[in-house]
Amino acid sequence: MVTSSFDYYAPTSVADALALLDQHGDDAKLLAGGHSLIPLMKTRLAEPAVLIDLGKISTLSYINEQDGGLAIGAMTTYSEIAGSELVQSNAPVLAEASGQVADNQIRNRGTIGGSLSHSDPAGDLPAVALALGAQLTTSSSGAHRTISADDFFVDLLTTALEPNEILSEIVIPALPAGTGTAYAKFANKASHYAVVGVAAVVTVGSDGTCQSARIGITGAGPKATRATGTESDLVGSNLDDSAVRAAASHAGDGIDFNEDVHASGEYRAHLISVYAARAIRAAVENAS
């Protein structure tokens, strides 16, 4: 398949990329790993006149420890994240979910920044960013801005990014002591996109009760969202099987469920409770 014609730029600095973005405005699309955008261009659902490739900006690719958490450059690939001992240690659910994205070749190209900016309703990392309480740093000409993951995902394929902004860094706060994390997804067998996916970050106190919980949901509705009903049910509970099941039964509250060839809304509503319970149980196990 052949895409529409476009002009291609490969800036080597964020400043140059931002200048190109300012110059071309709505005509331009940013190209990260390309594994969402290029298929859209091939089917001509997207026909940008200008592509600004971020792939040559080496300063956007890094994984650093920061205040006990992480700072990750937006162009860091799924493979790099999944294989990073630092991520496995400081935000294990991010490594776990990154290793479950699509397949090896796609993980070698796809990036965390691309995933979050694309906000695919079945993408894995938006749910993980929500569960980890990630802070997303954007750059525009002469300015930076920090957006909480909670405010970043606006709607189907829509984020809080302004047209002149580039998502440059993902900051993940340190996990409190006693915290376990896990990702559980029901994956489409061919694409490995999440039919539903649940990221759980649960802090267990010394008495075995839940001190805090953040649950991120993907695949179920038009955008990734937090299961706040499940979270509030978990906090203060003893995290036994019935408490987890009861809390997980609220994971789909308020979601306008997707209906497609992969699953009906009713089936997704069922799956989301099952997978929320699995993710929470695994997170609790990982906390010990």
Partner 1 sequence: MAQEITLTVNGATHTNQVEPRLLLADYLRSVLDLTGTHVGCDTSNCGACTVSLNGDAVKSCTVFAVQADGADVTTLEGLASDDGTLHPIQEGFWEKHGLQCGFCTPGMIMSSLDLLSKNPNPTEAEIREGLTGNLCRCTGYHNIVLAVQFAAEKMNSGS
Residues that bind partner 1 (CB under 8 A): 1-8, 10, 31, 34-35, 38-39, 42, 51, 53, 55, 79, 102-106, 108-109, 190-192
Minimum separation from the CB atom of position 68 to partner 1 (A): 29
Minimum separation from the CB atom of position 104 to partner 1 (A): 5
Nearest to 21 by CA among 2, 61, 48, 46: 48
Minimum separation from the CB atom of position 177 to partner 1 (A): 33
**Residue for token pair 């990734």:** 224
Indicate the residue among 98 and 138 with the shorter CB distance to partner 1. 98
Indicate the residue among 87 and 134 with the shorter CB distance to partner 1. 87
Sequence-distant (≥ 6) Cβ neighbours of residue 241 within 8 angstroms: 281
Minimum separation from the CB atom of position 264 to partner 1 (A): 24
Q: What is the spatial distance between Cα 267 and Cα 114, in angstroms, rounded to a whole number?
A: 29
Sequence-distant (≥ 6) Cβ neighbours of residue 172 within 8 angstroms: 69, 70, 71, 72, 90, 91, 94, 132, 133, 134, 135
DSSP state of 75: T
Nearest to 55 by CA among 82, 76, 40, 39: 76
- Three-state DSSP state, 166: strand
DSSP lists the bridge partners of residue 139 as 144, 166
Indicate the residue among 17 and 171 with the shorter CB distance to partner 1. 17
Indicate the residue among 100 and 159 with the shorter CB distance to partner 1. 100
Q: What is the DSSP string of 182-218?
A: EEEEEE-TTT--EEEEEEEEEEE-TTS-EEEEEEEEE
Indicate the residue among 1 and 241 with the shorter CB distance to partner 1. 1
Minimum separation from the CB atom of position 39 to partner 1 (A): 6
Cβ 135 vs Cβ 147: under 8 Å:
yes
Indicate the residue among 37 and 136 with the shorter CB distance to partner 1. 37
Sequence-distant (≥ 6) Cβ neighbours of residue 257 within 8 angstroms: 220, 221, 265, 266, 268, 269
Indicate the residue among 33 and 252 with the shorter CB distance to partner 1. 33
Minimum separation from the CB atom of position 5 to partner 1 (A): 6
Minimum separation from the CB atom of position 101 to partner 1 (A): 11
Minimum separation from the CB atom of position 17 to partner 1 (A): 15
Neighbours of 90 (CB within 10 A): 21
Cβ 184 vs Cβ 191: under 8 Å:
no
DSSP lists the bridge partners of residue 286 as none
Indicate the residue among 5 and 206 with the shorter CB distance to partner 1. 5
**Do the bridges between strand 28-31 and strand 50-53 make them parallel or antiparallel, or are there none, so unpaired?**
parallel
